[in-house]
């Protein structure tokens, strides 16, 4: 689901098997930006008690760890379709 959310919300492309981000007129390699993209485009939902107003929802940026980023980029034969690069358009 994380790969799908990122692929839909960010201007990511597959350029010759390399994941790149189209940002401010430049294609930037994913190594530089994947963590930033996830924090910018993916949030987690949390219940928050607001005193007399009762409960509400707060959305916080998702903070990926290195293992999560690696999983998005690693080819695993049994779950290849889960890779982020397999979900974005070719440049």
pLDDT at 49: 96
CB 5 within 8 A of CB 43: no
Segment 3-30 shows an average pLDDT of 79
pTM: 0.52
Is the pLDDT assigned to residue 78 strictly greater than 60?
no
Domain boundaries, the chain: 2-90
CA angle 65, 67, 73 (to 5 degrees): 110
Cα dihedral: 83, 85, 88, 91 (round 10): -170
In angstroms, the CA 49 to CA 68 distance is: 30
Share of the chain above pLDDT 70, in %: 78
The mean pLDDT value for 12-32 works out to 80
What is the mean pLDDT of the segment spanning 34-58?
A: 89
Q: Are 14 and 89 in contact (CB under 8 A)?
A: yes
């Amino acid at each position: 689901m994380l790969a799908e959310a990122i692929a839909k919300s960010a201007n990511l492309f597959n350029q010759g098997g390399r994941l790149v981000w189209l940002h401010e007129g430049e294609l930037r390699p994913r190594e530089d930006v994947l963590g930033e993209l996830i924090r910018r485009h993916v949030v987690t939902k949390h219940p928050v008690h607001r005193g007399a107003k009762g409960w509400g929802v707060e959305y916080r940026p998702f903070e990926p760890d290195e293992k999560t980023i690696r999983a998005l980029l690693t080819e695993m034969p049994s779950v290849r379709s889960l890779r982020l690069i397999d979900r974005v358009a070719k440049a």
